[in-house]
Structure 1
Amino acid sequence: MTSDTVSAAAAGTWLLGDLKVNRLGFGAMRLTGSAPFHQGTPSDRDRAIGVLRRAVALGVNHIDTADFYFSRLRSANELINSALAPYPDDLVIATKVGPARDADGAWAAPARPDQLRGQVEANLRQLGRDHLDVVNLRLMGQDSLGEHFGALADLRQAGLIRHLGISHARPEHLAEALTIAPVVCVQNRYGIDLPGGAPMLHDCAARGIAFVPFFSVAGAGCEAGAVRPERDEVRAVARAHGVSPAQVRLAWVLHQGAHVLAIPGTGHPDHLVDNVAAGALRLTEDDLTLLDATRRPAG
């Protein structure tokens, strides 16, 4: 089986509430431009639409997006709508609320609890949906999420949202959220060379909640557009399996637990195929030992 015929289903499945998704999904942020946080050269529209359609053809049925994923000429939500509507019945689209950007793309003050409905409705309009499958509250440094998450719980009760999650969160945030409404996923930064994350990874496993890492391939320095020299250990494992370092990084993430979902993003069709093929890569115990050693401080 060649990489361009591997289905995202090879990674296995998980339930987000009552929604079954393949554990290898797709992140839409990179569709809008060449640099993180949408400040780079606008992407080619036709190629971005082609990548989305190819992703679904390869079995991807979990797409992560947000209404603040936009550049001067591109909106991730609009691209998803144009490429995939009418949506397949099994496609789950997860979005985020909380952060805000003005029309020029500059970051604005995070949304207040009473402003979250407007952000939810913006996602609904852009995606052409009458409800959102999953909405993650993206925390912006606050100690308590009660008021914000409570506002989203009310929108869930009203039928605008099916399931709720949290992002950029700590274990105490998850505990607080669960006193307000069910949580189906936690979306946090996590990867081979991204320190921390294990407490939330294990907390989610114990509670049967999906853990959805972001920046698993990009690693440290990604917001600044840093180009990271690849670790020797990752290269060695990649050579042994005849795959790319990106596949090794994604496979390592998926090996952290059956509840872990991957959402790599790209605007390049070849990179898409490579990322999806990571779901079929089975790392050996020796591979995992070598890769895990890179996470421990020297000495």
Structure 2
Amino acid sequence: MANSRFEYVKQFEYSDNLLPNTWIVVRVDGRGFSKLCAKYNFEKPNDRRAIDLMNAAAKAVVTELPDITIAYGVSDEYSFVLHKTCTLFERRASKLITTIASTFTSYYVHLWSTYFPDTPLSPPLPSFDGRAVCYPSVQNLRDYMSHINNLYNTTFWSLIKLGGFDAKEAEKFLAGTFSADKNEILFSKFKINYNNEPEMYKKGSVVVRDYELVEPGSHNVAETIDNVAEPVKQSKTQDENDRKRRNKASVVVDHLDIIKDDFWDRRPWLLSNKPGKIPKQI
């Protein structure tokens, strides 16, 4: 199309570059999942098969895209974090969202029969949309990750299944409530102690590369990263070596408390973007 009379159409393209030196979170959400859950009779508030499928798809995405440093999922939502120094697709929102959402959707459909062997898929097939948000500091990123939880879903569906509420009534009843309120509702109305729920449901699922944990207090990665005005540039050789080390690491799914400092203190590679030490095989 170069130097042709059709080249003018490029004028309609617009820049969608994301802010430099910020953490990029690409969040994918199930599209029309209320209907899908009803169609395939997902158990509410948590269907173990569906959660395992979400985790398997997320693990595949993190494995395929080494630029993702951590992923975190609850219900039909997964957030994928790219480091401040990431230049994947020149930090273009449309490319990042399309790549992550489409890869996630592809694996979700591909792996469906593994987790629902007796329930074949039929159109309309599951799909996920996405959005990208930039967070300037480590604290902003951690606060975002901390606000996602399963307590609302558990309380919402308990009101419907055990309390006789319909969806609108439950939503209105929970409007403006805090975590302590929801815990009290669960216990006082239904004798459910949320602390006794399985870790997978309470804490969600985190997907990371498996490196050796370090001692808390042995580094100040968060402060160092936040104090850098411009990302430190590495040579192509250094970037390639880091990529090879990431590819050698196993990608694991776990159910951990990502709100507390200990999770981040023991995993400095999540914030530094430098691969850790591969655990020795026993």
TM superposition score category, shorter chain reference: under 0.3
Q: From the CA coordinates, give the structure whose radius of gyration is larger.
A: 2
